Structure 1
Amino acid sequence: MRPDVKINDLWMYAMGWLREEIDFPTPQSQTNTVVVPGRNAPIRFTEALGRVSYQPRSFTITLSMLGSREKFNQRKDILTNLCAGQLCQVILSEEPDLYAVGTLELEPAYDPLTGKGQMVLSCSDGDAYRYHTEETEVSITGGGTVILNNDYMPVVPTVITTVETALSWSIGEDVFKKSVSAGTWTFPELELQEGQNSVSITGEGTTTFRYREGRL
């Protein structure tokens, strides 16, 4: 398989660029420690809010082409107008089901001796998590228990009900209950964790859960 990269809806190979190199490191956690005199271990605030938070994702992608300067300038101008300073979705051909989000900055270069043009795309403010390209949707008609499978990123689903419906779920030792009419709802307490999440439904209509999964 030819290595390629997709920016928004455009594959770079189809635009005349070859993906030469990528640097897609794992985002670092947000860490803060306090050294207290007399203690043999620092106080760590990495999980102060109950979970690890991450710094923005940084990555670089190097594209290249062979041809005249005129051809390079044409391709450079197209890519610059489409991507420079824009918030873009980036998909690598090795993982076509995941996309990263970040602002792209472009750095072009051309060597007239070899006829090689190069474009370095860099991002320093990307979302820490990469997202699934397809949104997850789970529906249940009538009462029962629905299982919502989730990847590693915590996410709050959108809940759509067609009639008056009662929902209940538990997080740890806490139990939550909601009774809603027909409509579209978001409950901050209904945050899906990694793995299987169960929600009990009481009602005669159809209840739909929509959410986008993600991972580092």
Structure 2
Amino acid sequence: MARLATSPQADTALILPAGTVLIHRGQTADGVWHLQEGQIRLGLMDETGMVHQLGQQEGPLWIEAASVVLDEPYLVDVVADTDVKVEKIALKDFQSRCKTWPAASRELMHDLARSQRQQVELAVSRLAKDADARCAEWLLRHAEQDPATKRLQVYLNERKRIIATQLGIAPETFSRILRQLRESELISGRGRILQLTNPDALRSLAGA
């Protein structure tokens, strides 16, 4: 992807490549990021990359500013999904700006930040269910009986990337789980149609 041009009005803006980790969960902010252009992914990472994806966002917007406002550790990891143009405002400068607001405005901002953080906490807690179990559950929920063979099958009428987003996992994680399910002979087939060769085992995996 071509690099984004730096705006002459944004001398402090940085152009960062896709894959750059902007925020690590568990860390306390030393500043606040403003995404001017580009797209980011939010979720949970391990040493292999993004394994659970909560969503994608496009600029312009403030990135996870609720944690900064509340002075609490970040709940999610944030990665540049494309080349991005960003600016990082030092924490002391951000706090100084906020102090110039009327007390009622600061109280409202704090309440909105708390509400937003609670929503993120809930979303993260839902990811506690194992990715394998969520994939198995999704396959069973979308399965239909083939009139000819009487076997259950799933027709992937959406791109795997979109399905992965629905499941809250990274696309590469979804592909890896499908491969493991094939190797375990719980499913078969490639391309758009998957056969559920062992529905009982899938139900067990899904916790049904």
State the TM bucket, normalised to the shorter chain. Answer: under 0.3
TM (norm. structure 1) is: 0.27
Q: Which structure: greater strand fraction? A: 1
Q: Based on CA coordinates, which of the two structures has the bigger radius of gyration?
A: 1
TM-score of the pair, normalised by structure 2: 0.28
Task: From the two aligned structures, give the one with the greater helix fraction.
Answer: 2
